[in-house]
Each structure stands twice: as C-alpha cells, then as structure tokens.
Structure 1
Amino acid sequence: MSKKFISLCYAITLLIFSLHTLAQEEFSSSQIKQLKNGIFEVVTLKLEDNTVYKEPFPFELLPFQTRNDKYHSLGTAFLIKDNVFASAAHVFDIGSYSLLAKNYALRDGKGNIFKITNVEKYSNYRDLIQFTVQGDTSKYHKFKFADEYEEGDVIYAAGNAHGEGVIFRKGILTSFTYEPIDGKWKNIRFSAAASPGNSGGPLLNLAGEVVGIVTRKSSNENLNFAFPIKEFNTFSSKQAEFYETKMGEFESTKSLRYKWEFSADLPQDMLALRALAEKSFYQRFISGRDEFVEKFKDDLFPNHTKVKKYLKNQSSSTSLSIIDINGNGEWSLIEPDNQKKIKIGKEQSLWFGQSDSMLGNYQFFMEKPEEQKLADFVANKNKILETFLTSVQWNRPIEGTKVYINSYGEPIFEEHYTDNFGRVWQMALWNDQYSNRGIMIYCLPIPQGINCELVESPVAWLEFQKQSYKANLHRMMLSYSAKLNQWTEFLQLPTDAIPQFLQDAKLLLSDDKVNFEVGSFSGSLDNMKLTGDSNFHVTVEINPDDVNELIVGNISFQPNLNEDGIYYVSKYYDLGNDASDNYNDFWHKFTTLKSPYNFEVINEGKINSKYINLGANGKSPKVVGNQPQGVAYLAACKLQSEVKLAEFNAACDSFVNGLH
C-alpha cells in the first residue's frame, strides 16, 4: 500500500470526523422544531389608546406585526411540565403597578392564548418565576434541565427576540460570574446574541436541555447573562422573594439608601401576589422617608442652622421655585432654567421652564383666556393640560417621526391637598395607555391664571411621586404679580383656592383710589394714577419667627406697565452675625438715615428714586405695622426722571401718607 494512499485515507478520516463533530455542535432542523414547540411568548392585551393626536395616528409607520397585533409582546417563557412554565421575574415585574398587569398571558407559535393563573416560584432578586396556566399543554414540548454545564460548552439562546417570533442563536458558555449583590451564586455569561424579548427564554445545551434562564444583556460588550438552572431547581417554592437594594431618599445634599425585603406564601394567584407586593413596596417607601427625616431632621429645611440667614434675606419669584442648599451650606431659592414664553391667544400666554433641582419635569405659568372666568379656568384641569401639550408641541417619536399629542382626555384622578402653609394645591393625574406612563400636575391658582409643576413618570411610580410632592411642598415658593382687576377676581375665588395668608386680604379699586389690606400692609392710596390695569405685586416669604407660616414681605404698585414708575414697601431684618458686609453696610445706613435713606431724591439716570425708612428715629410720616426690635420697613418711590420734581414728590408723599 503506497504512502500516498495511506495519507489520502487519513485525510478522508479526519474530514469525516470533523464533519461529524461539526454536526454535533449544531441543532438539527427537526430538533429546532421540537424545541420551539415548548417556547411561548409572554403577552398582555393592548389597552384602548385614549390619546388625542393632532393628526390621525400614523399606523403605517409601525411594523406590520406591531400595528396589527392586539397584544404587546413582553418576553419569553418555556414549558417545564404540564401547564407549568418558567421565565424571568422582570418580564412580569410583580411589585410594580402597571396598567397592563390584568391581562398577562402566554401565546404559542400559532396564536393560541393561555391565561396565567398561579405563581409557584418567584424571586425578583434571582430574576426567576415559575407559574401555571389554564388550558391543555400536553401536546407541547417540555424542557428537561441539564445536570452539568461548564465553560466552553456550545449553547443556544432561544426566545422571542423583538416580539417577532422565537429564534435560536448559537454561542459559547464563556464563564461564570458572581451575582453582584451578595455573591450567593454564579450567573452564566454567554456569547450568543440576545435581544429585547429574549428575557425569560431558555439557554440550551446541544442536547436541548436547559442550562439557564436568559435574564439580561450586557450593556457594554457582547456577553449576556442567564440564571443557572441548578439554582432555579433548588430555590424554594414555598414563598415569593422580593428584594430591592436601590431605594433611597435624596434632599438638600443628604441621602439615605435603604432596602426593601418582602415575602409571601406560594402558590398564589398572580394578581393577588402583585397587590400584596405593591402594598409592601409602597409602605417601604413611606417608612424610608420617615427614616430619612428622622436621621437628617436637623440638616433639612427648615431645621438647618443656616436657614435663619436665608429666612431673613429671602428672594422671590413669580414662577414656582424651590428652596434648596448648595454644597457650601448656603440656602437659596432656585428658579426654573431657560424659561420660554409662548403666545397662545390674543390675551393669553404660557411661560415654561425646567430645573434639575425642581420636583417635576416642567414648571409652567399659564394665563387664563380674557373672556373666561378665573374660577372656571382653574377648575378645568383637562383644558389646562391640553393647552400646555399643544403649546409646547408635546409628542412621542414613532419610527423617527414626531407624533404630536393634543390631549389625554379627562383626568383619572383629582385631589386638593393643603400644605402646612395653608396653600391648597390642586392635583390631577392622567394615564397614557399607549406608553404605560402617567402625567401629573400640581397647581396653585394665581390672579392671572394658574402656576403648575408637571411630572411625567411610569405609572408604577406615580403614587410615590404624590407622596414625594406632599413631603416637599413646604420648600416650594411662589409670589404673586397681576393687574389690580385680576386681583379683584382672584380674591373672590372660593376660600380653598386662596392661600391662607391671603384669605383676609382686601383690595378695592374705585376711580383713582385703592384701599388695600394684604398681610401686615394696608393703606388708602389716592392721586397716584392707579387703574385696573396697574400692576400689584405681593412677595411671599416664610415667617422667620414661625417657619410654618407664610407672610407678605413686600408689596409694590406699578401704575403704568409701559412706564418705569413703581412704589413699594419692603420688610427688612437685622441679620446680625449672619449678614454679609454689603448687608451690614445697608442696614447701618438704612437705620441711621444715611444717604440714600435720608428722604432725598436720587437721580439714577432714567429714574428718580426716593428711599424712606418708615419709623426710623421717629422721623417717618408713617409707621407700618408693629415693628419689633431688629425689623424695619423701607418705602421707595421710583418715577421716570422726566417727571417734574414737584409731581414726583407729591406722588411719593401720597403713597407714603396713604400707608396705614
């Protein structure tokens, strides 16, 4: 026998062996068909979309399957014995409220639906679930669990990738890695591709046995994760396990992280288990807030030692703003950033902005339409939200195209909440069935219309958002500025629409005379060219002597909005050691009647000004309110410099002499 013939035979033998080995590392067509028969979609019935769009919804932009399917595809499950399935816990997310939760089901490859009944195993910590369904599953493939698996094994990830049917993708079991929290077991890492929808599907060896449950995709490399089936097999079926480590409270540079742990007896109806877990999760959120407040009670507003300085030197804003502290321990009022004005009607505008420091996603101030009564305007939350949505061109992206939204319909929930300052916040809530999200607004009526905060959130978090707002409303500040005739209508609103510190306010305009009582300020002003279109501004502050009370710290009148003239009275405090050098200089000059606080007329370019300390050294013509030690009132008059000096002094005297 020649050497060439022997070499040829050897080469053929190697080729046959290689082909045989290769064949062993691939699923056959018949094997795939058999295995696929035991893999199901996790689905939930689509809800009726109550959203009103600017134009007909562009269904043609959606893929055929998505627009024609009456179900949402959520993930994958696989059959392990008659009517019993396994999947990943996060596919069902028991413990989080969802609009879609009532209709969870399984769907086979031919479209047959199986209603989910009882949960037999559950752990969100391990990301596993075992549950039962109604119906006959005897004709479907039941998966066996692998006894052994190791690094280097050829595996297949099977699942409902992108909700478009079950597919198999080949890879390698690359390694084992400790679970990240306590290292109680080792998760499987594998190189087969995984896509959204794969979660809950089986990770299979070449014998078609389950080695793990696909749980998540790596965010930064092509290595995906599966929960090892040995751990699934040994995990107790007596109680559901809920465990969450990423909960926390954050406020005023302080933070507290805490855990949620909960268990419930099994087996149990899925909806019943969900209700128990949701209640426990919510209660943990409330107790976490209580723990946070107890731990940092002396570091939060208004108990922090440096709050006193802020309370005696407060700033104001006519936009909803929030009191917060910076890293240097200085408290200040933070306003929304980059506020924009949108004209939405002949006599109606909208201002809106954003700030990471605020509670919500947007802050907006909306004027009422001129022809509408203020009481009717502030009561119609549906119209308020619709106007906001259309004005800011609220939209959802569909396949790269913006689809504009006009309305979410009537609110599903409304309530009034009175904060510890006596302000009645009007809240309304809408659900967006299309996205399983919600929109919530918290609003205060104002003389010109309404001022609101808007938050968009997954519906699972809306109850938590409600409580977060209620816990922080005492840090939300708002001053008021409007025309005198708008104030007159505002003060006629029902009592629960007016903040407590303004409920006794009086404002009467007749001819050129204004009688007013607002907080500690009152007067009868005459011969000052005040009309219904003149502006009246009220600065709202927290009482430095009682942090649970709001007071009026400043008032001002602007006779003509098109001119620079203004008259105001402000309340100031002796800050003592808390004062800056500039403030100490002001306080000294102010209380000793040094220039410019010595009744002289000051030319400030286009404006003539006169500053008067009411009551200082007994020289003022009027004393405003009861002035305790360390408190003083500054009255000021400002008019355009072209106004004759005699006319300026006469107008200023009318203002000061009109103060009570």
Structure 2
Amino acid sequence: MRTWCDWTIRHLGRIGVLALVSGLGVSTVQAASLDAALLPKIQAATFEVVQAKPTSDSLSYEKPLPLDLLPYQERTDKYYSIGTAFAIGHNRYVTAAHVLLVGADSLWGQPELRDTAGHVYPIDKIEKFDLRKDFVVFSLAGSPGDATLDLDTKPTLNTAVYAVGNALGTGVVIRDGLYTSDTPEQQDGAWKWMRFSAAASPGNSGGPLLDKDGKVIGAVLMKSANENLNYALPIREVLDAPDGKAVMDTRIAYELDLFDTVQNSDLKTQFALPAGLSDFYREFQKRIDANSDAQLKALLARESANLFPNGAGSARLLHEQTVLNGFPSLIVRGSDGEWGRTGTQSQYFTLDGNGYVRVGAAGRSGLIRIRRPDGMDAAKFYGDAKTRMDLLARTGLFKRDVASEKVKITSLGKPILESTHVDRWQRPWQVAAWSLPYANALVVAYSLPTPDGCVMLVRFTPPSHQHDTMLDLDELSSFVHVTYEGTLAQWKDFLGKPALQPAALRNIRIDYDYGHRFNYTSQRVAFSYPSSVQAIKPDNLLWLGFSFFLDGGKPVWDVGDVNIWKDTASEDHDNVNVQRYIAPPSGLDDDMSSRWRKLSEKQYPYNAVARYEDDLMKINAVVAPAASGSQPSTVLYTAFYGTAGTQPQADMKDKLDLLTKDMRVIEH
C-alpha cells in the first residue's frame, strides 16, 4: 500500500478533505478591515469545486434511508462540495492538486466549478499541474464571466491576510488573520510555504489567500495539525511553473502488512499538457500505478533473503507442529525477526442452517471465514460473488451513516469486477470488487474456497487506489494460513469442483463409504480405518491441517495433519488423527527437540498406551517410513484415537491397531 510522504499530497489532515455537506447558496462573511467594495469581485472569481452525487444506488438497505433527517440544503443539493478554486485570468483557474485528484476514477461525477448563482461549469483542459507543490491550473468548458483576482507575488510578512474558501461545504466565506512566516517545504526545501493564522476549514483547499488589497498572494492547501497556523503555496510558484507540463516529483512510501520495512522512492516524471480531464487522469494514474508496481518489486527484492519462507526467522514456523485453526491467520514478521501467525481474534455471527461468519482483522484488511448455510446450494455459493457478500452483509458489517442513524446495508449488489488470482502456493482466490457510491469507495474481496465455505481478505479503498490495493492483496494472499474443513458431505461437493481446489489437493485422494470405511492417500502418507473404529457418516467433520514446511529443502504448502471428528455437534470430541512431524535442526528450539526425541524413541505419550486426559481417553502410536539405508528418518507420523469416557487399554489398543494396520509413510 502506498503512502504519501510529502505533505502536499496527504489526504488525511488536509483542509481539502471531502466535505459531504454542500451548498447552492453563498454566504460572505466580511473581515473587518477588508474593503467592502472588493467583495463582489472576490465573490465572482471564487468557486466551489463540486462533484455530482450518484443518481443510482446498487445497494440494498434494511429500511428506507431516513434522508429527511439531513439538513435541507444537504439532502436537496445534487452535488458534493470538495474544495475551492479561483480565477487568475481569462478562463484560467487554480485549485489544489489533491482536490482535483478526488475525481480520479471517482464513483461521482468529475470535478466541476459552481458559482455564487449555483451554475455549474465542467473543467475543459488541464494546463499546469504539480503534484508536490499541490496545485493545478485549468480552463472551463463554459464561461462564468470575466471576473479575475489580481495577483501579488511579493507579499509582506506580518500583515493581514484573508483566507477565502468553501468552509465546510456551506458556501464561500472570508476569514482574517496574519501572514506570520515562511517555512521550507519538508522534502528538501525546494520552496517555502507561507504560514498564516486565518481560520481554514474542510473545503478551503484550493482557495485564494488574499492580502489587504484583495490580491492573491497564495493558494490555501494545508491545515496545521497541532496549531492554528495553516499553509499556502505562494502564487508566484504557480505563475513560475512551466506551461504545458504535468510535473510529478515527490516522495512516496510503500509498505505491506507483513513486516515493518518501508520502501521509499522519489517519483520523478512528467507528461505533456494541455489535456482533457479524462486523459489527464489516465496519464496520471498510469504513472502512479507503475510506481507502485516498481516499489513493491523493489521492496520484495530488498526483503527476499528474509521473506518467509526464506531466512533464519522462518525456521521455527517451517518446523513446528501443524496447527489446526478454525479461523485463518496472517503470517507476519515480528520485531524480533521471527515469522509467526497473527490476526486470530474474531467476532462470531450466526447464520441460518448452521452457517456462520467470523470477522477479524489483519493489518489494514479484514480477515473473514464464512461457513455456508446447510440449505444453500454449493454451486451458487462458489459461483456467485453476490451470494457470498450478501452473507457477510448479514453481520451488519456494512452500515451507512445518515444523520444520527446507522442504516444496515443488506446487499452490495453485483460486483463491478471479477477475476481469479492464484497465489504462490497455487491456491485459487476469487477476486471481486463492489462500489459504495455514497462513500466514493470500493470493497475489494479475495475469497479462497474451502469445503465448508470460504476464507476472505477484504479491504475498503478509494477507487483511485484499486490497483494499489489489489497489488497488496495479491501478495498478502500467499501469507494466509488456513485449515480446510467441512463435513464429509461438504467435502464431496468440494472435491467435485477441481477449479476451486489448491494444487496440493491434486496429490491427495479422499474416499469414504458411509458406514464402512474411510481412506486417505497422498504422496506422503496413506491410511484407512473401518467404521468399527469411528462411525463414518455424512456429518463427520474432516479437517486438513495445511502447513508450510520443507520438502527436500524446498518450501511447500501441504497437509501436515488429518483430523476426522465423529460429528459436528459432538460434545465428547471423539476423533481420529494422523499427524506429520519433521526433525528440527539442532539448536532451533528445546521443546521441538524434546518432542522429536520422544517420537523417535516412542516415549510417552507416543507409546501406544491409553491415557485419560480432559474427559477423553487418548492413545497414540508412531509410524515411521520403511527403512531406507542407514540414515534415520527425518519424518515421522503419529496415529491417534480419542473417545469420550474411560475405556480399557485393550479396547483402545484394538482401535489403534485397526487405524495403523494399513498405514504407510511414503516420504522419508
């Protein structure tokens, strides 16, 4: 995800942050010492920058939106007010670059200017643009008149100034203060910001800063975060900028929710102007997206030696016991350099038909697991992105604020795009994006099919950040740790859909005959057991515990744990389990070394002797590969049987023997 380092292009903390309240009428507040005769000219040459509200809504709500609770002006205005602009010559206007960029890939209309009479004028050509200095000069397709503001390129410090702008979207106002100082811009002092004490509010961005004679001395751009001193770009910087160029010279940072490293780069590029607004946006976005591509590539190359599964910090995760998780997690690197799982906390929401949704967080993304309701057709669930997202919407995750009420969104409708992403472990993610027109935002979801439903990565993003967001999620998807689970009935549906399955399942065969026998065969281990060990029926719950481990020195994502629960509602936790263990390298972890020694020597609890723990009788045995020369095996498997209540050793051993009778460890 890219972040802007240069203050001139930050979206948060700005004066020009979107104001959802706008006004057709204009109220002018007169500063005491500004000549009233100047006001009509200032009024005529200063404009709101607006975008048209969406005329249609693809969302569904739990009830009609209570729009009558909104102020009259807000609910009747056809536009959102996003900033201020002013005229500096015949058909020549200035606003903040970040105000203009709100329109990039926007779900609202393109930015336009609105005058004091409420007339709206489309932008025609972009004439000058500077991303770092945060200004744009443009022309209009129609003429709101010939009024322009006079300019002063040599303002005097410690004199009265007046900030003119669309304050909070309620019309153009004028507020007074002092021009207090000049301060170097933050990156390398290429120019100096003007600092002033006149009040500025959301919507002021792009408006003129005037001297006592009503002349423009700067363009209002930023609000100080910690004090009542705001920032303006001297108007001479606008005038001296080259005509016919869009200049992009700024510092941008790129970071991933996997580690603390940040990739900083200086974006230095330009393209020719004048250009129509759509062409301008296209050329601008092309360069921003290309820079994101390059930054991510550079970040991953920089981290390659220590990027999971590489580096010493990956060793513990690659050798630990497979973990069965009912909720997915994200693999991240801690401050100690060790890779581990995070994001396992979640909130649970019940659906009909034994379905549920669990919602957690992993960095800037939502991490979600959906269990498909029993009555829902599998083909519809896997094949229809709207169906999956509607289940998520039932949780109340999506709400729209209207005045004092939060109205639940019950459906996002059809996605505006769909595709498939295959991660580095050859897992197919179903990608979809939905629009939230009222918020000018997208919901992007990556959905990984599982036998019982799916696992999702979800992120909200501005439309102009869609490419950037999908770059992130493409990479993050490879770091999701997930257990594949489902009833045997659900597995039957899932195994019949190869396109939904990870590549690892191509080497695994799962067969079962209800009431008779369960069989599991992979390139690593094979086992089977009759129904006399544990009843084999449609509501058996099969968990395949996938993990990351080394196979011949190569990292793989494969099954390390097979667990079959007696049924989904069992309170006694009867289950059969076959689990893989790998010899840890020396010095990695005392606990791992101790467990491996017990496994190798078949010590307790791996000695085929039944024990009673946690209201469950348990028995384990170790199964090794067939002898292969004089070298000891680096891979061992355990077979486990557990059942409720106390049971005789002989009965437990008989069950274990049936489980291990045909068990073969194929790998070495």
The 1:119/1:31 distance shift into structure 2, 3 A limit, reads same
Q: CA deviation at 1:426?
A: 0.6
Q: CA deviation at 1:314?
A: 4.7
| 1:417-445 residue CA offsets vs partner (Å, 9 max, x unmatched) | 12222211111100111111110111111
**Which one-letter code corresponds to 2:215 in the other structure?**
E
Match of 1:563 in 2: 572
**Which one-letter code corresponds to 2:330 in the other structure?**
I
**Which one-letter code corresponds to 1:80 in the other structure?**
I
Match of 2:296 in 1: 289
Q: Out of 211, 216, 241, which is 1:210 matched to?
A: 216
Distance 2:326 2:612 in 1: 29
Q: Out of 341, 344, 348, which is 1:333 matched to?
A: 341
- Contact 2:448–2:455 at 8 Å: present in 1 too? yes
Matched, 1:240 2:240: no
Matched, 1:262 2:266: no
Which deviates more from structure 2 when the two are superposed, residues 110-119 or residues 558-567?
558-567
2:444 is paired with a residue whose SS is strand
| 1:576-632 residue CA offsets vs partner (Å, 9 max, x unmatched) | 3144222222222221223332222223352222221113898xxxx9xxx973111
- Contact 1:488–1:507 at 8 Å: present in 2 too? no
Match of 2:611 in 1: 602
Q: CA deviation at 1:333?
A: 2.2
Q: Out of 353, 375, 379, which is 2:379 matched to?
A: 375
Matched, 1:175 2:181: yes
Distance 2:374 2:610 in 1: 40
**Which one-letter code corresponds to 2:265 in the other structure?**
Y
| 1:26-80 residue CA offsets vs partner (Å, 9 max, x unmatched) | 2243321232111111112112332222111111222222211111111111112
Match of 2:600 in 1: 591
**Which one-letter code corresponds to 1:590 in the other structure?**
L
Distance 1:479 1:33 in 2: 69
**Which one-letter code corresponds to 1:90 in the other structure?**
H
**Which one-letter code corresponds to 2:619 in the other structure?**
K
Match of 1:401 in 2: 405
Corresponding pairs, count:
624
Distance 1:232 1:582 in 2: 66
Q: Out of 493, 497, 501, which is 1:498 matched to?
A: 501
Q: CA deviation at 1:648?
A: 2.4
Distance 1:441 1:147 in 2: 50
Matched, 1:439 2:443: yes
**Which one-letter code corresponds to 1:128 in the other structure?**
F
2:270 is paired with a residue whose SS is strand
- Contact 1:491–1:505 at 8 Å: present in 2 too? no
**Which one-letter code corresponds to 2:560 in the other structure?**
G
**Larger RCO: 1 or 2 (CA < 8 Å, sep 6+):** 2
The 1:470/1:24 distance shift into structure 2, 3 A limit, reads closer
The 1:617/1:489 distance shift into structure 2, 3 A limit, reads closer
Match of 1:10 in 2: none
Distance 1:160 1:368 in 2: 49
The 1:616/1:277 distance shift into structure 2, 3 A limit, reads closer
Match of 1:15 in 2: none
Matched, 1:575 2:584: yes
Match of 2:111 in 1: 104
Q: CA deviation at 1:647?
A: 3.0
Matched, 1:80 2:84: no
Matched, 1:158 2:161: no
2:98 is paired with a residue whose SS is helix
- Contact 1:312–1:573 at 8 Å: present in 2 too? yes
1:73 is paired with a residue whose SS is strand
The 1:345/1:77 distance shift into structure 2, 3 A limit, reads same
Distance 1:84 1:268 in 2: 14
Distance 1:281 1:576 in 2: 45
Aligned pairs for 1:233-632 within 5 A: 233-250=239-256, 251-316=258-323, 317-337=325-345, 339-356=346-363, 361-493=365-497, 495-503=498-506, 504-518=508-522, 520-526=524-530, 527-528=532-533, 529-545=535-551, 547=554, 549-560=556-567, 561-604=570-613, 606-615=615-624, 629-632=633-636
The 1:482/1:461 distance shift into structure 2, 3 A limit, reads same
Distance 1:466 1:372 in 2: 29
Match of 1:195 in 2: 201
Distance 1:86 1:242 in 2: 17
Q: TM-score, normalised by structure 1?
A: 0.90
Distance 1:462 1:314 in 2: 38
| 1:195-242 residue CA offsets vs partner (Å, 9 max, x unmatched) | 111111111112111111111211222111111112222222131111
2:557 is paired with a residue whose SS is strand
Q: CA deviation at 1:518?
A: 4.5
Match of 1:12 in 2: none
Distance 2:366 2:65 in 1: 26
| 1:119-139 residue CA offsets vs partner (Å, 9 max, x unmatched) | 1111121111111112234x4
- Contact 1:105–1:114 at 8 Å: present in 2 too? yes
**Which one-letter code corresponds to 1:571 in the other structure?**
R
Matched, 1:89 2:93: no
1:464 is paired with a residue whose SS is helix
Listed as ranges, the gaps of 5+ residues in structure 1 are: 1-22
- Contact 2:327–2:344 at 8 Å: present in 1 too? yes
**Which one-letter code corresponds to 2:581 in the other structure?**
Y
- Contact 1:422–1:500 at 8 Å: present in 2 too? yes
Distance 1:497 1:292 in 2: 31
Listed as ranges, the gaps of 5+ residues in structure 2 are: 1-29
Which deviates more from structure 2 when the two are superposed, residues 292-301 or residues 274-283?
292-301
**Which one-letter code corresponds to 2:577 in the other structure?**
Y
Q: CA deviation at 1:336?
A: 2.7
The 1:181/1:592 distance shift into structure 2, 3 A limit, reads same
Matched, 1:113 2:120: yes
Q: TM-score, normalised by structure 2?
A: 0.89
Please provide the CA RMSD for this pair. 2.3
Matched, 1:26 2:33: yes
Distance 2:587 2:375 in 1: 49
The 1:94/1:434 distance shift into structure 2, 3 A limit, reads closer
